[in-house]
């Protein structure tokens, strides 16, 4: 019995509880033992497992807690432009190099989002049919997947940055700019002039 079980995983159904510890069958045997102990739990775990495999095979969207863990899996060319953000005060001084690592990360994250609002249209086009099918995407205004408008996000970020750079004066403008850099073999050098994303006027 045991020998057959080793060769054909699902033959393990015939094994006794104390026999289902065969090394080669562990993943299947775990489900068998779980099924014998709690059928509902086994069905849920099997469904989650299949969902995890499907989402990873499908490659496009996830459904937390079923996630993809493929960060930096694709080839990343050394050539090509990298986006760098800058925060300039009224005197034109760039405060980005003086910020703490975590502050830079936050700023880059939020400015990336503010610069890629079109991403929302893609997300909407993918999920709208599903949510409509479930009758929960109606009316669309309640859908609520759009980033807040640039003006609102910009004000919020401007206030954060004012705190980080100790800018107390409310008369002075803070400009968020984006520039492109390329790797020249030893360092990153600018390849394009800066572009203004948003100018924050605290007084307004």
Q: Which residues from 173-192 bind another protein, rule CB under 8 A?
A: 181, 183, 185-188, 190
Residues in contact with another protein, counted by CB under 8 A, come to a total of: 82
* Alpha carbon 63 to its chain's center: 12
What's the CA gap between 46 and 75, in Å, rounded? 33
Q: Is 97 in the site for another protein (CB under 8 A)?
A: yes
Of 91 and 101, CB closest to another protein: 101
What's the CA gap between 109 and 111, in Å, rounded? 6
Mapped onto helix, strand or coil, the DSSP state of residue 197 is strand
Packing angle of the helix pair 39-58, 26-37 (nearest 10 deg): 140
Q: Is 181 exposed, middle or buried (0-12, 13-18, 19+ CB in 10 A)?
A: middle
Q: Which stretch binds another protein (CB under 8 A): 8-16, 25-33, 168-176, 194-202?
A: 25-33
Of 90 and 130, CB closest to another protein: 130
Q: Which residues from 115-174 bind another protein, rule CB under 8 A?
A: 119-120, 122-123, 126-127, 130-131, 134, 136-137, 142-148, 152-153, 156-157, 160
Q: Is 74 in the site for another protein (CB under 8 A)?
A: yes
């Amino acid at each position: 019995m045991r020998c057959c079980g080793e060769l054909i995983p699902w033959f393990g159904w015939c094994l006794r509880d104390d026999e289902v510890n065969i090394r080669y069958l562990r993943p299947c045997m775990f489900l068998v033992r779980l099924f014998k102990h709690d059928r509902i739990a086994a069905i849920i775990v099997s469904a989650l497992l299949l969902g995890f495999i499907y989402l990873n095979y499908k490659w496009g969207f996830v459904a937390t807690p079923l996630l993809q863990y493929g960060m930096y899996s694709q080839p990343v060319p050394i050539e090509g432009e990298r986006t760098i953000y800058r925060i300039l005060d009224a005197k034109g001084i760039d405060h980005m190099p003086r910020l703490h690592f975590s502050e830079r990360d936050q700023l880059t994250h939020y400015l990336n989002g503010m610069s890629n609002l079109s991403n929302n249209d893609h997300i909407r086009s993918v999920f709208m049919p599903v949510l409509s099918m479930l009758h929960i995407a109606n009316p669309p205004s309640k859908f609520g997947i759009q980033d807040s408008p640039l003006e609102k996000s910009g004000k919020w970020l401007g206030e954060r940055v004012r705190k980080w750079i100790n800018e107390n004066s409310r008369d002075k403008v803070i400009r968020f700019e984006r520039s492109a850099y390329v790797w020249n073999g030893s360092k990153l050098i600018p390849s394009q002039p800066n572009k203004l994303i948003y100018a924050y006027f605290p007084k307004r």
